Structure formats: structure tokens, C-alpha cells
Structure 1
């Protein structure tokens, strides 16, 4: 078995693809904050494809981070010359490629000095981010949280910021003082309007200490919106062992992912960008249409299979798709209550997109855990499910399948599955959700009273009745019986 390194690239098995370009062929153009699995399976892969074509080689990545975990990732990657083995888990066979799009990884420091210096360099024209939704400091309404302690601290000490956004602002100030144009800030996180969200956090933080600078940022810094998609499980010893066993590569931080990959971007890069369209990225002024499609059909679909599977004791997504009831529940809700309210997407058939989603969910090699899909429902339900509920109700239709899904989520948060097994806490607000779910067993209105999730739609008479009926039936009859009645076309609680 060969330790992954630049010196050992030529010793790898022939089945492992590797860069034909040399490290010396590349020069940095992008600083990326948050070098996790998704980034290395997505943005870094697109850039690797581009470099392999002999294009855009002045846009190599410089890795960065602001958390302790980022420091651990830095050490692992530096130990293998910043290379990553990316394994596509296709059902017909696994494919491995070593990617080399990263040329540096700056040290992690409490004041973010090395990160700020990297962003302030003239060569840096894009700063990209995968910091997860929670990393944008949003309040319960999705707006910038002006009272968050991290943001208040950075507002008090803007020259020694602790957050990624404080570091971005410090670097922008340095560039402005040096007469350099601002870099583009490109969010690569999976959240609606990610460019607008990033802009809101950056300008919101700036305004806490310098309103005039906040206005300059809003007027001069580009924040393109983008939609990203690739299922990428976490890496543990199982994944490390798989790469070693199947491909003979000793990689301390491999990435395993599905073959499917999609990136849709607004073309808003004043200081230039790599020609990513040549590597398969879609540039369009209708990112919102692609985003709505993904959020409702894919992310919503994950929730639709997750909660019944979680109550039935199913561990993996592909096992849920093998369960006839769960798979049929997904298809029925999608076709009857979600697809009819998704606006047309350029060059895309929604029916074909749903079919691809069902195929992706059923991939047995991904190993995507149901528990992960159930995680953080208090944040995901308002974004992924409630828009479809709202549109159905606005059209005069009570979405009984989505009401049942809400009841399944409530029943899951009660903390015990249908077999009597304890469900471990699985939401940042689990204690409150658990108490509310137990109260809702006798008073369903307690659950729908969460206005940050349901808004005014939680008071809709038809939705309330469908939810209450489904929740009562889940407690009295169990998930199997309730799914069976819904799939037969009757009311879920009848």
C-alpha cells in the first residue's frame, strides 16, 4: 500500500486516476474557508477537472479555516502534500481519482492572521466558503443575528477577528487601503440564496462597528448565488479502510461520494473567474429556479424518507428506498404535492429529476444514514417542507402527505421509535422539541404552534385537522399502518 504523496503518485495502481499536471503548473487564485468533505468532493473536483484540461491553472485553491477541526484537517492534508483521493460510489463499480487542486493550507490562528494575509494578497480574486448554515450567524427568522456573542466580539476587535466573516472584513479593509480591488465572496453552502445570506452576514457584521464601511462592502463586493449538490457521507475508519483495500492508497482523509454532481452559479465575478463552464458548471441568472427544485424535491425528499424510516428502525437511506412503503410514500408525496408547485427550470424535466433523485437515494454504496437525514428538523422543515405546504394550501388543497410528514417528524421527536427504542437527541433544540412532541400527543396544536416553523399556516383549519388525525393514528396504530392507509388513498388516520 502506498502512502499518498506527490512522490508516490506514479506508484499508485493503474485503476487510480491522478493529475497529469504538476504542482508547479498551478498558482493560487481562490482562498477557501472550510475544507471539509463536501468542498473536496465538489468545488475542488471541478477545479481538478479544469486543470486536467490545461485551463484556469492560475485559480488553484488555498485552504483555510477558523476552527480547531480545520487545524486537524490541515495536518492530515499537509501530511500527504494536500492531495485527496475522491472515490465515486457508483453501483456498477467504484472509481478513484487523486485530486491536486489545492496548493497551500494556511495555519489556523486565534486572530486569523494567516487567513487574513492570504485573502489580502493581490492573487486572491475569490474567497469561497463552506461553513455550514450554522456558520452564517442567522437568527430564528433567517436574518443576521446582531446579538450573537461571536459577532459582538468581532465588532469590538475588528483587527483580531475570531470568525471567518470578521477575517473577510479585515482583509477587505487591507485591500482597500492598498488600492487593490475587493475579492468576490462565493458561498458554496447548501442554503437558499447563499450569496444573499453571505452578503447579509458580512455587511451586518461590518455595520456593528462601521456603517460607512458596511455600505462600501454592499456597493463594491460581489456575492454570487449558487446551488450545489453532491451526496457526500462523512469519512470514518470504514471509508479509510475501503480506499486502502480497494485501491491500495494510504489516505488519511479520503472522500467518498455519489457519482452525481451539480453546480449552478450566477456569473457575478468582477475580478474574473476560472472557466468552470468547461468543467460542467452551469452559469445562469436563474439560480433560484434550480435551487427551489433541489430544495423541494431532493432536500424535501430526504425528510420524506427520513422520519418514517427513523421510526421503523431503518439505518440507511438505501434501505429506506428498499422498503416498499417508504419508497411509495416518497413518490406519492413528491408527485402529488411537491412537483406541481415547482416552477419550470431551464432545460430540466422535473419528472426526470425526481427519477434521478430516487435512484440516488437508492444507491447502496453511499451509506447515508437516516439519522443524518433526520438531523436538525427545526431548521430544515421551514426551508425544505413548508414552502410546498404553503403553496398547496394557497391553491386550496390540503397536502395530506406533507401533513403526515409533519406528524412523523413530531412523533420522531418524542424520542422513542415504533419498536420502543430510544431516539438519541438529534436537533440543536431537541429538549424543547421533545417536550412539545410529548405534549402534542394529547394536544396536537402544541406542535403546530411553532411559528418559526409553521408560521400562520400552522393555524390553517384543513392542515391542522390532517396533522392531528395523522399524529393520533401514529401513536395508536404505528407507522406501518398509517403509511398503508395513506398509500391506499384514504386519510392517514382513518
Structure 2
């Protein structure tokens, strides 16, 4: 029998069990009805991280009888996701965990009780959203809308005023729904950003406050609405840290599923360039840490493996990950992976020099100044990253993807460690060897020429044109052509958070760079020289 994702098909439990696919351990139709009647959790952003991680948290609670409602998922940007991935499959998905040994763990995601497009022109769906936000049962609205989703700085005053009558951006839509909740009796709620960015709760609050303040100034809404949003006893904006790789749907996973009679495998590329399928492929390791601040109560997320803690601890976990245990290693592999012609992070971890580079940056240079959040051990976290996560050949993550926006990342990923060394009584930034080597590698990358001397396409970066102009006259094999070209980059405090020359690293990076441009193959030979 062919396996197809729909609510009738999953009733034939034996067939799914024979295919080694785990089904929800609750009555799906009862859950959906309960969710329609008394929704407790709305999530904005219906993509892969939601289905592959967040929805499975509620599924764990449903499976164990600790809750009886699911999640209402809302897509506020790419409506094709709802129309082509949710509706045709009765809101069901298949989660495929890709283990390092090549085995796959498969589970039907059945915790999504309802899916809606936050499109003001779809009157029925918008009215349904208003109804949901007027329900006293609603405890949380969570978000995975990417960091860009919180930006309202490009909205003109006129745009914001018009958005009250016809909201277009996700933040103005949420603001309007929050107004519905305010008018329904100032009902309490937690707005929880689960996006992978620092101080995410603050970003969400500030974006909403900006829009609502303009509405108040223009007399469109009462001042009391702004006071409501800023009253932590009624409305909270908890911070969170999330970590799980859920890449684009994999063709190899699709083929494996089809060979096992699973037919719901059509990969969709939407007009908004979202790559999505009825299945989600993801790594196994996952972390979610949330500030425990829920004015209307919450579901027992700790029973699903979520860490509930205070804001300072959330920030410490984020700092541990972003500044030491994961993100700096990713950027190191991205820069040198592109230069050396790699197309898969996992393949880089088979390269002895690159593996040693991330070990040196993580264990030797990062760990002495790591921020310890206590609830997670940095030593265990980084060991899992280096030994399990990065080498997983079944996670199709590329150095080219990670190299995007590097100018926006190096200040946090390396600058904070350099500053910690500079502020320490026992450490000296001049003694750093491998972080400067990566920064030099990034400057070499900006030349747009790989280690073989061939032209190389660079990943998107908001400062790319400016940065490229600084290295445009440098020629491979001509060290003299570099001269002072790197000074505008390495002295830029907006990029690194400090002037690298002031801490004794500017010249060291220039020297590394000089070696990296000495000719074709110099990137490889330089790495081997310093990572014997």
C-alpha cells in the first residue's frame, strides 16, 4: 500500500508501522476540534524549523496526554506554503531525522490543528485569526519569521498608517491582531520569538511598539493599547535561543522515502523562493531555551525537553553558542571551504587541516573565555558540534550558504572573543593564532578567486561591494600589491567591534594574508603550515 499524508490514511496504523514510521499517539481529529474551540498556541512562520522542531514539542505533550490542543500555524509572507504543503495533506508532515550513520528516523508530525494564511484579502482566514486572538484560552504566539521579519525601519510613516486598514508586513498584521486581543478585554499573552537572533524578544517588542506608537500618535488607536503592550503583567516578550539545523528538502531523502512506498514527497519551490516539501529533513540534536515569562500560563514545555529559565541565562546560552561553540566554527569552515572548493560542510570535516582549525578555534582559543550558562555545559555542547553535528554527511549544509553576510557576523563570532582576551588580566589577544588566520582567510575570500586561481562567486553580503573594492587591486602571487589594502577592513570597529590594530592583531592578519596570496595553492599550504 502506498503511504500518503492525510488524516484518513494515518488511521491504518499497521501499514505505517511496517514502514518504520512513527504515528502520533493521540486522536488527530479530536485534537483538531479542541484546537479550533480553545486554541492555546499560535505560531507565525510555517517553514521547516517549525515543522521539524517546534511542532514536535507540542506533539510530545499530546502523545503523553499533558495537553489536548495542537498549534495553529500561520504564514504571513509566503502563502503558497499553506496552499501547497499544509492544506493538501491535512496539516500533516513527515519529520525525517538524518543520523550520522545514514539511518533515518521517521515520524508523522500531527500536532498542527489548523493552518492559516495571514492575508488580509482572504476574509475568512483573517476573521478566523481575529477570533483566535479574542480567545481567553490563547497563551502564546510564537515566531520563526527570520531576523528580517522584525525590521520596520524601511516602513514610511504613511506605510504604517495605511497598515492599520490594510496590513501587509507580518509585524503590522500581528499588531492588528494584538489590538483585537486588547479590545477583547486586554487578555494576557506571551509573544515568543524563536528566531535564531540575539535578544529576539526585544526585537519583536520594539518592532510592535514602533508600529503601535505611530498608530497612537495618529489617533488610530487608544493610548491604552500601547500601555497594554508595555505591561509585562499582561503582555510579555520572552527571549529564547534555538538551535537545530533543518535544511532544504534533500533529493536523497526524497528518493529513499519513495523507495519505501511513501508518496508525499513533492518538493515545492514557491514564487518567494522557499524550498519546502511535505517532509522535513533535519539533524537530531536540538536545543530550545526560553525565558519563563508567560502571563496567561503555558503548556509544560520542560516535559518536551525545552529549558525554561531567566533572561540572563538565555543570553548566556546564546553567547556560548554564537561566540564560541558553534557559529565561529561554521564561519571558519565557510571561508576556507569556499576557497578550497568544498560544497559540503561535512566533507570539510574529513580534511585534517580544516578539522584541526575548528578544534583549535573552539577548544584552544574560545573555551578559555567561554560564557558558561550552567544549564548547558559548553564542553559537552562543543564536543557534540565537532564530533557529531558538523561531520554529519547527511546534512546538506554548504560553506557557500554559511558565508552569506559574513561582515554582519564576524563582530559577534570573533570580535567578542578578541575583546574578552583584551579585557582579561591573564590573556593577551596577541597570542591568538587561529582566529586571526580565519579573518585573514575571509579577506582572501573577498578577492573572489579560489585557491586554484579561478574566479569564485561570492555569497551575498550587504557590505560586499565596499569590501571587494578594498582588495580589488590585489593580485595573486604579488604580495606587494596588498600594501595597506586591508587597513580599512581590519580597523573597522563596526565590523569587528574594535580596531584590530589596537589589540596587536592587524599586522598579524596582514602577514597571514600575505602568505595566503603568495600564489595558487597558497591557501592550502598556509593552512598546513600552521595546522601541522
- 1:338-365 deviations in whole A, cap 9, x for unaligned? 1111122214332222110112100111
Equivalent residue in structure 2 for 1:17, among 16, 22, 40: 22
| Alignment CA distance shift 1:74-1:294 (3 Å) | farther
| Alignment CA distance shift 1:152-1:224 (3 Å) | farther
Q: Does 1:416 align with 2:449?
A: yes
Aligned twin of 1:295:
322
- 1:402-425 deviations in whole A, cap 9, x for unaligned? 122112122222222112343324
Aligned twin of 2:390:
361
> Is contact 1:96–1:247 with CA below 8 Å preserved after alignment?
no
> Is contact 2:23–2:107 with CA below 8 Å preserved after alignment?
yes
- Mean alpha-carbon deviation: is it higher for 412-421 or for 274-283? 412-421
How many residue pairs were aligned? Answer: 478
Equivalent residue in structure 2 for 1:481, among 520, 525, 531: 525
Determine the C-alpha separation between the residues in 2 that align with 1:70 and 1:300: 34
After TM superposition, which residue ranges in structure 1, 4 or more long, deviate above 6 angstroms?
Answer: none
Q: Does 1:75 align with 2:84?
A: yes
> Is contact 1:203–1:215 with CA below 8 Å preserved after alignment?
no
What SS does structure 2 have at the residue aligned with 1:332? helix
- Mean alpha-carbon deviation: is it higher for 26-35 or for 274-283? 26-35
Determine the C-alpha separation between the residues in 2 that align with 1:293 and 1:334: 11
Aligned twin of 1:90:
99
Q: Which blocks of at least 5 consecutive residues in structure 2 are unaligned?
A: 218-222, 267-276, 475-481
| Alignment CA distance shift 1:382-1:214 (3 Å) | farther
Aligned twin of 1:463:
505
> Cα distance, 1:107 vs. partner?
2.9
| Alignment CA distance shift 1:20-1:375 (3 Å) | same
Equivalent positions of 1:161-310 (< 5 A) are 161-210=167-216, 212=223, 213-220=225-232, 221-246=235-260, 248-252=262-266, 253=277, 254-285=279-310, 286-296=313-323, 297-310=325-338
What SS does structure 2 have at the residue aligned with 1:209? helix
Q: Which blocks of at least 5 consecutive residues in structure 1 are unaligned?
A: 138-144, 489-494
Aligned twin of 1:346:
374
- Mean alpha-carbon deviation: is it higher for 264-273 or for 452-461? 452-461
| Alignment CA distance shift 1:266-1:410 (3 Å) | same
> Cα distance, 1:90 vs. partner?
1.0
- 1:255-290 deviations in whole A, cap 9, x for unaligned? 111111111111101111111111111111111121
Determine the C-alpha separation between the residues in 2 that align with 1:182 and 1:436: 52
> Cα distance, 1:298 vs. partner?
0.8
> Is contact 1:150–1:163 with CA below 8 Å preserved after alignment?
no
Equivalent residue in structure 1 for 2:472, among 438, 442, 451: 438
Q: Does 1:33 align with 2:60?
A: no
Question: TM-score if structure 1 supplies the norm length?
Answer: 0.91
Determine the C-alpha separation between the residues in 2 that align with 1:2 and 1:375: 38
Equivalent residue in structure 1 for 2:364, among 328, 336, 359: 336
> Cα distance, 1:322 vs. partner?
0.4
Aligned twin of 2:144:
130
